[in-house]
Amino acid sequence: MYISSRLALLALILFYSAFIRCAPTPVDLVETADLEARTASIASVNGRLFRIDDKTQHFAGLIPYHAPDGAVDRSQMAATGYKVIRVWGFGTTNNPSASYGVYYQVLNSTGQYFNYNPSNGIARLDYAVAAAEKYGIKIILVLLNNWDALGGINTYTNVYGGTHNGFYTNAAAQAAYKNYIKFIVTRYKHSTAVFSWELCNEPRCPGCDTAIITKWAADTSAYIKSLDATHLVSLGDDGWFAPASSSYLPNNDGSYAYSGYEGVDFEKNLAIRTLDFGTVHMYADQWGYNYSWGSTWIAQHNAVGKKLGKPVLLEEYAVPDGVDRVAIARPWQETVLHKTSIAGDLMWQFGTQFPSGTKPLDHYAVYWDTSDLRVLGNRHVSEMAGKKAVATL
């Protein structure tokens, strides 16, 4: 999902910066050992499905945009029955004195710093991980953002030079990014709440040869595996197809999603040995497609997953407010349930109405205890949990 700068400021508290330079003994650091889960097990791949807490299963999940900020009620997510959620593990600023809310890293001309302030630093992510452990929820932890909100790729190129597209081959930017990866992965690598480490939210390189992101994904995922060989690793892409590898797919009309314009080749990326599963996002209304096309998009990615023998996760899908969400999204869920072996799906995004009125203001948000959530959330969770765990389609 494209995350606007406006959204990044919502529901966040303004703090002036307090950070320390990377040091052997950081202050206010919650010990990693305290974050280790007590009873659950680490998720793994079983054929084209996932084994979660010693059970091979399909699942439904959701994305809470503001999870580390406390702007969603985690007990509500757990009560809905969601198995897996997606949480932002990135948060970079170039200017801490002008930053709003939570950030984990500072990049500027003086160096690279990690924020250990308990009020707006890494302790907030510690809390999100600990809460996931408490409620038995797995989290996909995203390590970078393609978009500017909450500190994306451009916070690296602002310091190390070049353009957004050049980030993937910028040696200095990649060294800093890998340093951040090491910071996050080593901090949580013993937590069974982590479902996967995810390289980037919707990586794109418009107009580039798709080989650029494929090589970057191979190199970066191999680096993560060198730090933690146990947890799963995913790319986090939209699932764009490229002409060279997708011409065989039914209903491939060569339009935007199949053109390779965004510099991503879903099939070649899924074939990377150190990526454990494929990710697909779907925003038909933003991309210029009819809502009915969504089922085609899902089925096409299922076909590639079947060809390569890897799980595929419909990692983001959404319908904006102001329309009949159930009528539009249920056919997509029915496709996942009955016509594919898609391992799981996550709807964007979960919203909480607090007594104070605080909520993430997003026109895609689906709120607790509404008719939309009861059908697209509670019912679908039950359906996916009850689906026979054999990938035959």
Q: What pTM was estimated for this model as a whole?
A: 0.88
Output DSSP code: residue 29: P
Instruction: Read off the tokens for 160.
Output: 């190390």
**Catalytic residue status for 316:** yes
What is the pLDDT at residue 34? 38
- Is 133 marked active-site? no
Question: Are 255 and 279 a contacting pair, CB within 8 Å?
Answer: no
Q: What single letter denotes the amino acid at residue 259?
A: S
Alpha-carbon gap, residue 115 to 124, rounded angstroms: 10
Give how far Cα 345 sits from Cα of 85, 136, 312, Å: 10, 18, 9
Residue 241 pLDDT greater than 60, yes or no: yes
* pLDDT of residue 67 exceeding 60: no
Which has the minimum average pLDDT: 73-77, 156-160, 357-361?
357-361
Rounded to the nearest 5 degrees, what angle is found at the Cα of 40, between the Cα atoms of 305 and 347?
45
Q: Among 32-46, 90-104, 135-149, 205-219, which stretch is predicted with the lowest mean pLDDT?
A: 32-46
* Candidate list 133, 198, 202, 267, residue with the active-site label: 202
Indicate which residue of 133, 198, 267, 316 is catalytic: 316
User: What is the C-alpha R_g of the chain?
Assistant: 20
Per the structure block, which two tokens stand in for 89?
């593990």
Residues 392 and 309 sit within 8 Å (Cβ to Cβ): no
pLDDT at 368 over 50: yes
